[in-house]
Amino acid sequence: MVRRAFILVAALAVVLSAFPAAAVADSAVVLSTTYPSVVADKGKQLTFPVDVVNQTGAFQQVDLRVSQGPTDWAPDLRASGFSVRSVMLEPNKSQSIDFSATPPASAAAGDYAFVITAYQSGTAIDALHIDVTLRNTVSSGIKLSTQFPDVQGQEGNDFSFTFDLVNQAGIDRDIGVSASAPSGWQVTFKPSGDTKQVSSFHVKAGDTQSVDVDVTAPQKVDAGAYTVTINAVAGTDKAQSPLKITILGKSALSFTTTSGDLQTTATVDQDTKVVFVVKNTGSGPLQNITFSSSPPDGWTVKFQPDNVATLAPGQQQNVTAVVHPGSRALAGDYMTTLTASASGTSSSQDLRVTVDTPTAWGLAGLLAIVTVLAGLGWVFVRYSRR
């Protein structure tokens, strides 16, 4: 009885030892994927991971092939940018590769099947089935957006925007970009982080391209709000995104006499009027223009009018400066500074004022001189007789 049992065990050992490779091969490598069944659009590339798992404690080299499926879909196994035909697996480790296929636009809607097979020494050791349902519709559309479409600045400035250009179609496509802008404005397009100017972008299906848009205002442009429209076109799909750019305008003014002559004459304790012109030489309106002066001690300077409510670019207005020298002013030349100010800008002029002696004072002086001379003559005549 014991001898018969021994013979059976020995025979079983012989049978098992005859097939060691087959027993290991059945469980050595497993193919798996998280997405064994998917739905796709015509022309849209399919890409999803496939895991090749080594379930043994030894290195395993495995050959891989897409053994079944429509060949016009160009099925492939890829990793690190290469088409993969074989993988070397570490003990008890797995390796992920990508299965990719692109259904042609001519493919009919329906169900399609692919099989990925793993081989060792020419023998199939595992197979993964992938089912693809191709639908008859193809998604389309372009989306164009920016986070900050409304900006402000000065004439001649550069205004920068970053756009997201989204290809919502089911196929890769070239998307052209352009701009509708006022005359004299410049608009350029660049891939974000690049300095190269372009007029179109190749965007994969469902992907987003980041685009830098630079808008340059002319050196001389009136203050106000301007609209620049960014356009994207691919086939019959179009998208637009308006940008609002507000030019604030530069504040500047000039302030001088109507004749350009910055000197005048005046009489002590009397008004002298000098007409000035205040002009808006900037590109933006000026509000609440006021006037000031720094006359000598005892003098006064008044302005008529004493302020100007508003001046549009290029407009001007006459302003009269009324200069009144003090009663103790002596004859001679004096300087007084007159200033016009508005909206953070100003203009000043130094006015030379020559003060003459009043006519009454001149007559009084002449009379005093005559009196002194007459007195001297009388003294001379009287004492000369003695």
- Backbone φ and ψ for 284, nearest 5 degrees, come out as -125, 160
Tell me what the mean pLDDT of segment 131-139 comes to: 80
pLDDT of 14: 42
Supply φ then ψ for residue 43, to 5 degrees: 80, -10
Enclosing H/E stretch for 332? strand 332-342
Class of CATH domain 142-247? mainly beta
* Domain segments of the chain as ranges: 28-134, 142-247, 253-358
In this structure, are residues 229 and 240 in contact, taking their beta carbons and an 8 Å threshold?
yes
Whether the domain at 28-134 and the domain at 142-247 fall into the same CATH topology: yes
Looking at residue 7, what is its pLDDT?
A: 46
Question: Which tokens sit at 135?
Answer: 């639908």
What is the pLDDT at residue 6? 42
pLDDT band at 11 (very low <50, low <70, confident <90, very high): very low
CA atoms within 13 A on the CB side of 63: 8
CATH 2.60.40.10, applies to 253-358: yes
DSSP labels, 21-66: HHHHHHHHEEEE-S-SEEEE-TTPPEEEEEEEEE-SSS-EEEEEEE
pLDDT band at 367 (very low <50, low <70, confident <90, very high): low
pLDDT band at 380 (very low <50, low <70, confident <90, very high): low
Q: Average pLDDT of the chain?
A: 86
Q: How far apart are CA 290 and CA 308, in angstroms?
A: 7
pLDDT at 16 over 60: no
pTM: 0.47
Can you tell me the mean pLDDT for 290-301?
A: 95
Report the amino acid identity of residue 21: A
The Cα 294–Cα 329 span in angstroms is 16
| CATH class (in words) of the domain with range 28-134 | mainly beta
3-state secondary structure of 253: strand
From residue 195, give the alpha-carbon distance in Å to each of 164, 213, 320, 334.
17, 11, 56, 61
Residue type, 235: G
- Segment of 108-117, 218-227, 359-368 carrying the highest mean pLDDT: 108-117
pLDDT tens, residue by residue, 302-355? 999 999 999 988 899 999 999 999 888 899 999 999 999 997 799 999 999 999
Calpha distance 170→273 (Å, rounded): 80
Query: What average pLDDT does range 66-91 have in this prediction?
Result: 94
φ/ψ of 358, rounded to 5, equals -60, 150
Give per-residue pLDDT as tens, 27-68.
589 999 998 998 887 767 788 899 999 999 999 999 999 999
Q: Which amino acid is at 321?
A: A
pLDDT value of residue 86: 95
Show the tokens assigned to 181. Answer: 């802008």
Mean pLDDT computed over 70-98: 94
Structure token pair of residue 125: 């050791």
Rounded Cα distance, 223 and 242, in Å: 19
pLDDT digits (tens, 9 = 90+) for 151-199: 998 887 899 999 999 998 877 899 999 999 999 999 999 999 999 999 9
